[in-house]
Amino acid sequence: MLESTQTGMIRKPKVAEVAAVKALIDEAAGVGSVLPRTVAEMYECARDFHVYIDGSGVGGCCALHIDLPDLAEVRSLVVRGDLRGQGVAVDLLKACLSEAEELGIARVYALTRVPGLFKKLGFHEIDKRELPHKVFKDCVRCHLFPSCDEIAVIRAVALDGVDALEAG
């Protein structure tokens, strides 16, 4: 899937770009914005990612990680500093939602400190305890565990081929 934006494009990463995606995530993890990912994890889940590519290389990333047949997580949403506020994060989220719809995944959730961004795309807040225990497998690696300050958001993706926002 290739999506053009004003100055770049969103697509699946090439294997040669995984190191640049990891560097972007490492920088964000260094300030506590996302969980760190190991090199092995990055290659194992490279196909989960969409990347924003511009003239400077990898400018953003976001992953759609399938947890259950009807539930996937949007995670590792990171945008390079010079691109923030230009809609790149929204475009990356849209790419993940489109993929979830293509795969027939009914619901997509995220744990975030920026719920407003997700609400723009139809997500709503839920109590984290409403999510299956399985989704917290990564949480134990976080320095904030068990006192997490992230907000859980969720969105229905597709209802028999009809966009959940149009149906509701």
Q: Give pLDDT tens digits for 26-53.
A: 999 988 888 889 999 999 999 999 999 9
Confidence (pLDDT) at 2: 56
Q: How far apart are CA 111 and CA 136, in angstroms?
A: 10
pLDDT at residue number 129: 80
The pLDDT assigned to 165 comes to 45
String of DSSP letters for 42-111: HHHTGGGEEEEEETTEEEEEEEEEEEETTEEEEEEEEE-GGGTTTTHHHHHHHHHHHHHHHHT--EEEEE
- ∠ CA 91-92-97, rounded to 5°: 95
Domain ranges of the chain: 3-167
pLDDT the model gives residue 6: 61
Predicted pLDDT at 3: 58
What is the predicted pLDDT for the residue at 130?
85
**For the chain, which residues score pLDDT lower than 50?**
1, 162-168
Domain 3-167 listed as CATH 3.40.630.30: yes
Question: In the prediction, which pLDDT does 20 show?
Answer: 97
